[in-house]
Structure 1
Amino acid sequence: MATSAIDENLTVYLKNYAPNDASAESDPVKASQLLFPSATYTEAEKVDIGQWTTTSSHIASTTEDAAKSSERLSSLNTHLSSRTTILGAKPSVADIALYQKLAPVVSKWSVEERTGEQGYHHIVRFVDFVQNSPVFGLKLDEKVTVDQDSVIFKIKPIDAKAEKERKKKEKEAAAASAAASGSATPSTLTGGKPAEAPEGAKGKKEKAKDKVQTAGDAIASTVAGKSGGPPEGAPTKKKEKKEKQPKPQKAAPVEKPLSPALIDLRVGHILKAIAHPNADSLYVSTIACGDAPGTDNTSEYEGQVVRTVCSGLNGLIPLEEMQNRKIVTVCNLKPVTMRGIKSSAMVLAASPRVKEGEDSHGGPVELVNPPAESKAGDRVYFEGWEGEPEAVLNPKKKVWEMIQPGFTTTDGLEVGFDVEAVPQLSGEGADKKTGVGKLKTAAGLCTVSSLKGATVR
């Protein structure tokens, strides 16, 4: 699939202000995937990224007249009225391309242009979101000043259901109007004779009249015994039924082979943690995991997209050690409700291996530490087991339960995956796999403080 190329100005902008070396890619889709590794795009979204990246170069262009420029801004404002990002909820390089062009323009707008009755409310909101959201992580020298309390005309939030109904009624009204105009002939409007219609351009009424006339002629010929119709009383031929064609069967989805890569491991940033109000052994943490706005099972906290996570660490790790720290999270387990609070991820921690019959929750317990330079949402994977994780692990297939026994710590206090602990993956004979693949991010290895040969879960 061909996409538009990123222009030189945007490449320089990405190099100066965007993370993840996105400027190394000239393809907007690849640059988006580099910028937002946890986001996945459909084919239609990939096309939109290319188109909007190209369109951004024309937004508020100084070479266009004021009317054309205003038309483009109005169209963009309408598009953003029901979207957080240009794609809806997923971030992409197209958002940064538009921000680059819009920021200097919006910074010069008057309050009336920003939030007046005819103002570009949604563009202003979009600019403010892109420049401040940790999802984009732009390191800007200057930002557009946006006073959220300075609003001249408060617009009503769009009700998606009502908007759909309104468009439906508009279509019905247009169809009714077209039908009404079709039934009013020139002669009824002007009192004169109807104009001659060009050949092949008969109106609906004339066509219907012709059909009635043809049917009448056929009936008359049958009754009078004219040639061309069956004789009176002759048996009529039954219409042959068409054979039903079997519907093509949908191809079964291709199942990915069992691998630690199926598990969506990411760097998480605990913004706050409290004791669970209904369970003495649980903490409730608010964790940024790099999700895009609008992702299922997320909410917003202090301007960041977060997940609520319950973990059985109360009494094992002091609450103060759970505050404002980086950890490793499992992000594609099916959410579970724990004593009335929905938990949408899991915090990885190490504990000593215990013998059968011993208390597996006795401790000590240590959280898995990602590299200090890593950021919330960074992909975490085992060396030698790279690949795309599942969106949500199917609980019936027990993928986590089969893979987790291989999670361990080494004598060097690194976290790794021991393939020999998972018989389904280790193989036999000459094909037998051995060794420990270390857990890492692009910034380095994941570690624990002191537990060697521990289990990690």
Structure 2
Amino acid sequence: MATAAAPDSSLLSLLYRSYPTVISPDATEPDYLHATSKIFPQISYIEAEEADVKQWLNTVSGLKHALAKDDKHAAESILVQLNTHLATRTTLLGAKPSVADIAVYALVAPLVEKWSPEERTGEKGYHHIVRHIDFVQNSKVFALQIPEEEKIAIDVNDVRFVPKPVDPKEEKERKKREKANAQNPDAAAEKPLVVGQGKPGKDQAKAAEAAAAGAPKTNKKEKKEKKEKAPKPAPAPAAPPSPSIIDLRVGHILRAINHPNADSLFVSTIDCGDAPGSDNTSLDEETGKTVRTVCSGLNGLVPLEEMQGRKIVAVCNLKPVTMRGIKSAAMVLAASPRVPEGGDAHAGPVELVSPPADAPAGERITFQGWSEGEPEKQLNPKKKVWETFQPGFTTNENLEVCFDSNAVPTVAGQEGKPAIGKLATASGVICTVKSLKDATVR
């Protein structure tokens, strides 16, 4: 494949052009390793991730050296390693951006520009490197200041060969092996045997037995009297049941589409304020936000256009479920008329619960008078927590969403608690629906 060394100044120039407050124009050898936290101050990095950034910066340096020496074998070996690594990741760290991604772009983009379509996306092409280059140069996450005419032209529809998806299980096992070998490299290597001496472990065991036989026996120490263990303190009384253990948050639907395999479902991309890398989230390449994918049975009940770019209330600690092939990591809260026993609960109409328009995505919402404590990380489906409290979710005459504790036997009449608590933000603004009074909310 075509190779050509990138100028040594390309990375420095790109960083200064894009992040002038972070990289000094006079810097000749900037501290790339610690630049990540300055370029992306809103993202936190653990020690292992910082070590990965250092490793990838060294890998980029090795690739640059191989290109400069025209060592095609070494260069292609590193490119294969990079392509394999990116097969299951958006960025080098998985989802989080780093200066290592920018370093890869600065060095590899000129190579990609010269590659033929077959070299880019053919059977032996570097599909994932090409995708990574396109992501880095266009993503708002990196916000690189690259003029359009200088960007690498990549036709995302020109795929000559579709590679077999990486098996997540095999990839997980491979990572385990790599980690184990890195932590204990001696364990992976076989210990050499000396001819005529047999296995060291066996001989050493025999020698130890012989030494033990000739050694004088020592009297065993008398058993100490067992001390009575102090009784364990009684466990703290369990907190009274409360709907506050349900994680209700403001969600911002970035976009919604029809589910490809189910006529009754929408698939929404929702910003719920999660930290980058959180469980059940992904990085939205278009906006750079950490998002959840949510399937909702609202198709045919709520117009698709009403699902676009709007604020909703999301239930964020239900156990994720796969709905017709797509994993759903939250639930959109909506109201519908109460249905008599035996009636069709999905007949509609349905109205989405609306939080304040200016509430930020991720802001926690609670029922007034029931806001103590923190929500559980994930509700245990076996305990039926959602099913226990949901019957109390309703709307009043003023179209405000409320919790009616009298409808939930486990909390009805709880001392010091209101019979009706309105769903509100920390500032006290109430969540509402358009027109449904005395509705059920779920």
- Length-normalised TM-score, structure 2: 0.54
Q: Is the 8 A contact 2:423 2:430 kept in 1?
A: no
What aligned pairs does 1:203-282 form with structure 2 within 5 A after superposition? 258-263=242-247, 265=249, 266-269=251-254, 271-273=256-258
User: What corresponds to 1:48 in structure 2?
Assistant: 48
The answer as to whether partners of 1:113 and 1:120 remain within 8 angstroms in 2 is no
For 1:214 and 1:357, how far apart are their aligned partners in 2?
A: 80
Q: Distance in 2 between matches of 1:48 and 1:286?
A: 34
Partner of 1:161: 170
Counterparts of 1:420 and 1:29 in 2: how far apart (Å)? 48
One-letter amino acid of the structure 1 residue matched with residue 258 of structure 2: A
| Kept in 2: contact 1:352–1:454 (CA 8 A) | yes
CA contact (8 A) 1:366 1:448 kept: yes
| C-alpha separation in 1, matches of 2:348 and 2:188 | 71
Which residues in structure 2 correspond to 1:292-303 (within 5 Å)?
Answer: none
Aligned residue among 85, 94, 100 for 1:80: 85
Q: 2:270 matched to which residue of 1?
A: 289
Give a deviation string over 1:207-246, Cα, whole Å, max 9, x none. 9778768978999xxxxxxxx699xxxxx99x99x99xxx
Residue 283 of structure 1: SS of its match in structure 2?
coil
C-alpha distance in structure 1 between counterparts of 2:42 and 2:292, whole Å: 24
- For 1:262, the aligned partner's letter is I
**Corresponding letter in the other structure for 1:47:** E
Counterpart-to-counterpart distance in 2, 1:209 and 1:348: 71
Structure 1: which 5+ runs fail to align?
1-6, 14-24, 34-44, 186-202, 220-227, 231-235, 244-251
Report the Cα offset of residue 348 of structure 1.
1.6
Partner of 1:128 in structure 2?
134
Which of 357, 360, 365 is the aligned partner of 1:382? 365
Partner deviation per Cα, 1:148-171 (whole Å, 9 max, x = no partner): 577899987666638749969x98
Deviation of the 1:318 alpha carbon: 5.3
Deviation at 1:286, TM superposition (A): 1.4
Q: CA deviation at 1:310?
A: 4.6
SS at match of 1:309: strand
Equivalent residue, structure 2, for 1:456: 441
Q: Note the C-alpha offset of 1:366.
A: 1.2
- Check conservation: 2:113, 2:153, Cα contact below 8 A: no
TM-superposed CA distance for 1:52, in Å, is 4.6
Q: For 1:78 and 1:432, how far apart are their aligned partners in 2?
A: 58
Aligned partners of 2:158 and 2:88: how far apart in 1? 22
- The letter for the 1-side match of 2:266 is S
For the 8 Å contact 2:391–2:407, the answer to whether it is kept is yes
Residue 330 of structure 1: which of 293, 315, 321 is its match?
Answer: 315
Match of 2:379 in 1: 393
**C-alpha deviation, 1:84, in angstroms:** 0.6
SS at match of 2:266: strand
Per-residue deviation, residues 37-70 of structure 1 (Å, max 9, x unmatched): xxxxxxxx72224445667887868xx9836999
Matched, 1:66 2:65: yes
Matched residue, 2:351: 366
User: 2:359 & 2:41 partners in 1: Cα distance?
Assistant: 21
Asked whether the 8 Å contact 1:29–1:49 carries over to 2, the reply is no
Aligned to 1:196: none
Match of 1:349 in 2: 334
With over 3 angstroms needed to count, the CA separation of the structure-2 counterparts of 1:413 and 1:269, relative to structure 1, is farther
Q: CA deviation at 1:261?
A: 5.0
Residues 332 and 416 of structure 1, relative CA distance in 2, 3 Å threshold: same
- The alpha-carbon distance between structure 1 residues 390 and 349, as it changes in their structure 2 partners (threshold 3 A), is same
Which structure 2 segments of 5+ residues have no match? 1-14, 23-35, 225-234
TM-score after normalising by structure 1: 0.53
Instruction: Give the conservation status (yes or no) of the 8 Å contact 1:418–1:437.
Output: no
- Alpha-carbon separation, structure 2, partners of 1:56 and 1:294: 23
- 2-structure distance, mates of 1:210, 1:438: 72
| Identity percentage of aligned residues | 32
Distance in 2, matches of 1:167 and 1:369, equals: 48
Code of the residue aligned with 2:134 in structure 1: it is D
CA distance in 2, matches of 1:306, 1:210: 58
Kindly provide the amino acid, as one letter, of the partner of residue 364 in structure 2: Y
- Deviations along 1:108-162, one digit per CA (max 9) or x if unpaired, are 33446795799976554334345667xx756665465444577899987666638
Q: Give secondary structure in 2 for the equivalent of 1:32.
A: coil
Match of residue 31 from structure 1 = 42
Distance 1:138-1:451 versus aligned 2 partners, 3 A rule: farther
Quote the Cα distance in structure 1 between the aligned partners of 2:141 and 2:155.
21
The alignment of Structure 1 onto Structure 2 pairs a total of residues equal to 371
CA distance in 1 between counterparts of 2:340 and 2:317 reads 29
1:404 corresponds in structure 2 to: 390
Distance change (3 Å), C-alpha of 1:111 and 1:32 = same
Looking at CA atoms only, which structure, 1 or 2, has the larger radius of gyration?
1
Q: Distance in 2 between matches of 1:399 and 1:318?
A: 27
